[in-house]
Structure 1
Amino acid sequence: MTVLVQLTPSSSPESEATSLGELLALARSRTGDDRQRLLLAITALCDANPPAEEISDVLGEVLLMLAHQVERDVRRILAERLAKADWAPRALVNMLALDEIEIARPVLASSPMLQDDDLIAILVQATIEHQIEVARRPALSGRVADAIIDRAEPATLTALASNRTAEISPDGVRRLVEQSRRIAALRAPLTRHPRLTDVLAEQLYQWVGTALRQAIGARFQINEDDLNVSVQQAVDKAFRDSVVPVVVAENDEFEESERRLIDKLRAADQLRPSYLVRAVREKRLNLFVHGLAALGGFSVAEIRGALNAGSPEAIYYACSAVGIDRAVFVAMINEIRLLNDGAPGTYGAQVWLRGSISAASAARAFRALAHDGQPATV
């Protein structure tokens, strides 16, 4: 029988549990194959007869020494054998947990020997794949969950939010909901999370799409129409409270100075979507108009027409065409309305809830609306 046959997962512990004489012979051998056989034979014997506490330290040193000397396929089998063993040497389990992810996965998922300190160390030392496996671990403690939230890694946070058995504190759930504002992947698992409260559900409701809003509304008996009105009123009040007197361009000279500033920024390759968002926040609507026109290759007249339309659809497409994130569009359009006598109006569908759109498609949609005033097909 070759070593490869002996190392296949289908080999039974009984076939590897050899006599004492054979174990001694394997221990005296210096060949790699015999070291592999010795390691798996000792593991099989320990599975059948867990070692007493007084010899576990010595056994741990032996197994750790052997594990360092064997091939990855043997370490993988060893990790599978030790995944649920409550006698496994802790140092050996930690070594396997930090091995490449295909070896580490079973111990990360199940080993009772991994303590909170071990798991937190893995979050710091290991790859993102290891961190995700830690976040998925059943009955994860609140201490480890908090450590994951503190690190704020999107993929790991999403895995944690999907782990229904993790002991996440109320404050931990609140922090996950806050993170979902910037991490879209968190929103779906949070809507189904057993620790989501009514208050947090209403907060989450503000930045999820239509389908998830319906799921939240059904689970928490939220009146979607009333909550939509409340959210909009809160946004409007926040902007009213923060509004300052606006200086409106009253002459061509001021308008020309805004245009020259945009030309200089574009020539220096400094005109960015973030600059347009900042212009609106600083109450400089004319600067926003000229900047959006220049960045998107539109005319100023087209942008002004979109800003004065009965629907925000056209201006949304213009903003999407230049790379302004749809996540900031709702807040931005409310600020624009405060600067522009309430325009654009609220007529029509909230197209930004439909999902992302490519820059090219958004530009085509904007031009179609700007030219004929009709809804565009994208």
Structure 2
Amino acid sequence: MIVRKFIQWSENAPASARAEGVGALARAYLYGDLEAQERADAEQILYAMLDDPSPLVRRSLAESIASAVEAPPAIILGLALDQSDISSVVLARSPLLTDAQLIDCASVGDRVAQAAIALRPELSPAVASALAEVASREALIALAVNEGANLPEFAMRRMIERFGGDPELREALLGRPWIPAAVRAALAAAAARQLADYAVERNWLSPARSERIAKDSRERAAMIIAAGCAAFSEETAALAAYLRISGQLTAGLALRGLLCGQTGLFAATLVELTGMGPRRVAGLIREPASTAFAAVYAKAGLPAPLMVAFRAALVALGNNSGKTPGGLNADAADGGALRLPVIQFVLSQCEAMQDESLARLIALLRRFEADAAREQGRKGLSRLREAQAEAAAPPVAAAAPETPDYLPIPATADEPESKVETMTEPLAETDIVVDLVALEKELLAA
């Protein structure tokens, strides 16, 4: 009876009244004390409202049952496949939707529906990975800012592959509580590539010059990221794997890593290129002059003429004693920056060989030396300016003692004592004060 009456009423009622009636009926179904037959009739009406021509009615139904665990799953799924302003309500809140259903809705939904899925309080790695593959730019930004999303590393890298040139997406990923080293390197590479392309489009730089600057920026970023990792860890290994896959793991990058003191990254590079165990590689790089090191170096496919530089760098870093010949601690990498004493030691060893085949290597080392010296000069100038600023700053006033040394002159005899007020404002330069210490001495002398 209730079904027939509601349907008869809804045929002539305006959309706003139907929307209000459906919402009330849905709340009565979920939270009211209905009998079994009344509950079954109400459920039939809710199913029928999925075909209501007005989106106001369907949205009211979605808002009423979206968060309910007791809602009919078929109605939830029907609303999830509706137009985006209706489906987004259910997709963002319903606990009844499975991962498979969410992935299906993401594949056929627009950016509004995809963003609603991306902003769910808890998101499984499967759904997050599916979004990374098919979602729009706006939905991926929503996914990146959602701290409740379990976002795997490969999903982050896929997001960067698709929309790495978008600065908002990069900023959203960098704002996450933790991102792997490989993802940080991918973000840096995307930013460097975008800036290089922009400089070429504006005719500010030639393509060759722009590519060289971008390559140098990527390598600098890789060194900074490696400096934030442990000496050799899973994160360092993942960074080396990413650098190899992306084509950045060159002999020049490996040498730069050593010149920056990143022995952990160099070990991870050899492990990635040779397939040998990390302990075995770590033992070999402690003996750079040995034939075993020469064998693993050759197995990694690194250029033979550069072996003298790699050996000199390992010696300079002092893998046996922990110090360079100049006393530089090998474990004190300066945030991934090039280390001038190491470069100078390697340069001296290469020049002593007097081998013409090392001319390009020496030129590279000279460029590294100039970069390191310039960075050292910047830091020295910054420290000098800070020291000058501290010296020029006025001394900080000491805290006032509990018993002040100076008090205002007491009131004259013509004024009653009750009119004398305690001075609370600081004394001006023209105020007359009394030295209590001197006054005490005069009284004692009298």
Instruction: Find the structure with the greater CA-based Rg.
Output: 2
Q: TM-score, normalised by structure 2?
A: 0.39
Q: TM-score, normalised by structure 1?
A: 0.45
Question: Which structure is higher in RCO with an 8 Å CA cutoff and minimum separation 6?
Answer: 1
